Amino acid sequence: MTSKELNKLLIKNFPNLKNAYDEEVSWQEGDDTGSHTVYGDILTPYLDKCLNEQDESEIKKILIFIEVILELRDDYSCEVITFSVLEGIEYQYRNSAFLNNNIGKLTKKIIEEIRKSNH
C-alpha cells in the first residue's frame, strides 16, 4: 500500500480528522506525504486525546481500524502502525486495562514484541 492509499484510508475512516490532515499535508507532499508522518502526527495524538478523555467508543473504533490495517499484512502499513502509533501508545498506556482488553490479536502481538524489545 502506498502512503497516499494509507493516508486516504485514515481520512475515510475518521472524517473528523480531515482538517488536521489537510493542515499537516498542506506544507508537505499533499496526499503523498509519508504515512509515518501522518499517522504519527494525526492518529497517535488523536488516540492519546481519546484515551485521556476516556472516549471508549472512539478508542474502540481506532483499535478496530488499527487491527484491520494490520490484517492487510502489508509490510509498509504494518510498519507505520507499529512505529508511528503503537510504540508511543504502549509506552504511555502500558497499564491501561481498557486498552489491553480491547486491542485485537495482531495489535496485542505487536505490543508484546515492543515490550520485549524495550527490556
Q: Is-contact 7 31, C-beta < 8 A? A: yes
Mean pLDDT by 10 residues, the chain (119 residues): 94 96 89 91 94 92 96 95 90 76 91 83
* pTM of the predicted model as reported, rounded to 2 decimal places: 0.91
The domain spans of the chain are 3-117
Q: Give residue 119's pLDDT.
A: 65
Q: Give residue 60's pLDDT.
A: 94
Q: Give residue 115's pLDDT.
A: 84
Q: What b/e sequence results for 12-23 when a residue is b if at least 16 CB atoms lie within 10 Å of its CB, and e otherwise?
A: eebeebeebbee
Q: Is-contact 10 17, C-beta < 8 A? A: yes
Q: Give residue 20's pLDDT.
A: 94
Q: Give residue 88's pLDDT.
A: 82
